[in-house]
Structure 1
Amino acid sequence: MQKTFVISDHHFGHKQIIDFESRPFHDVDEMTTKMIERWNAVVGKEDKVFHLGDFSFLNREKTRDIVQQLYGSKFLIMGNHDRGRTKKWWLDVGFDEVSEYPLVYGGFYFLSHEPMYMNKNMPYVNIHGHIHGQKYEGNHYINVSVELWDYTPVSFEEIKRMTIPNEEQ
């Protein structure tokens, strides 16, 4: 059965992010290897992954090499560091679909790179990245930046458990 995952802010090739976000890697090569391993440990070849932006700082060839190693079909919602390249560039390196704008998934979830304003009375959840190790208060926001999820994509089943109230309570 196909599963769906979300993740954000890998920053492949970005040496300074290791210090900026206190990532537990010695260098970008170790970071790349470990993040690919963690992705492939949970994502199957038939699964779908929404990457919510800031994927790679590397050139076309090195980015394509990473994308080809990652399991599943990959949908990129472009982040602030991705927007310097065209949708075509991202498709050419191996993403199956690319969006410059947030999307609604499952009629209930807003998928975006940056957090979106969510009124507390709205029945929606914003799944986002961009703010790395920070979290917004409340149950309207789920930050899927890699730092908060041990550099591993999060299944939508896990997101649902976090966001849909248990009707028996």
Structure 2
Amino acid sequence: MPNVFFSSDHHFGHKHIIDFESRPFGSVEQMNEMMIESWNAVVRAEDTLFHLGDFSFLGKEATRNILSRLNGYKILILGNHDRGRSRNWWLDAGFNEVSEHPLIYKEFFFLSHEPMYMNKHMPYVNVHGHIHGQKYEGNHHFNICVEHWNYTPLTFEQIRDTVVASEEGSD
């Protein structure tokens, strides 16, 4: 049975993100390789992965090379660093689908790059990236940035179960 995974903010090829976010890598090459290994350790060819933005700072050929090495059917929601390139650029680089706007998953989860406004009365959860090591309080936001999850994508069930556990803990 195929799984559905989520991740964001890999910043492949972005040397300065190592310092900006205190990533535990000695070089951008080491970072890229470890993130590819972490992705492929959990995502299989038949799985789907929603990438919630800021995928690569590399040129098209280098980005295509990375995408060709990553398992799964890959869907990109454009992040702020991705938007300088057209939707077709990302499709040509190897994403299977590209969205310029947030998506709704399972009629309950808002998938976006930047966190969306969610008041406490809304029954939805916003799965997002963008803010890297930061975290919003409450049960309405789930930060899927790689820094929070050891550079490894999470399944839908892992996210759902974490959200449910945090809701039960707040009662």
- Scaled by the length of structure 2, what TM-score is found? 0.96
Distance in 2 between residues matched to 1:110 and 1:122, nearest whole Å: 12
- Structure 1 vs Structure 2 CA RMSD: 1.4
Counterpart AA for 1:23: R
Secondary structure of 1:101's partner? Answer: coil
- 1:145 aligns with 145
Distance in 2 between residues matched to 1:164 and 1:151, nearest whole Å: 23
Distance in 1 between residues matched to 2:36 and 2:144, nearest whole Å: 16
- 2:12 aligns with 12
Q: Deviations over 1:20-53 (max 9, x none)?
A: 0000000110000000000000001100000000
Unaligned runs of 5+ in 2: none
- 1:39 aligns with 39
- 1:131 aligns with 131
Count of residues in Structure 1 that have an aligned counterpart in Structure 2: 168
Unaligned runs of 5+ in 1: none
Counterpart AA for 1:32: N
Distance in 1 between residues matched to 2:121 and 2:140, nearest whole Å: 10
CA gap 1:161/1:89 in 2 versus in 1, 3 angstroms: same
- 1:49 aligns with 49
Distance in 2 between residues matched to 1:144 and 1:102, nearest whole Å: 14
> What displacement does 1:164 show?
3.2
Counterpart AA for 2:56: S
Q: Deviations over 1:103-124 (max 9, x none)?
A: 0000000000000000101000
Distance in 1 between residues matched to 2:13 and 2:94, nearest whole Å: 17
Counterpart AA for 1:128: H
- 1:155 aligns with 155
- 1:72 aligns with 72
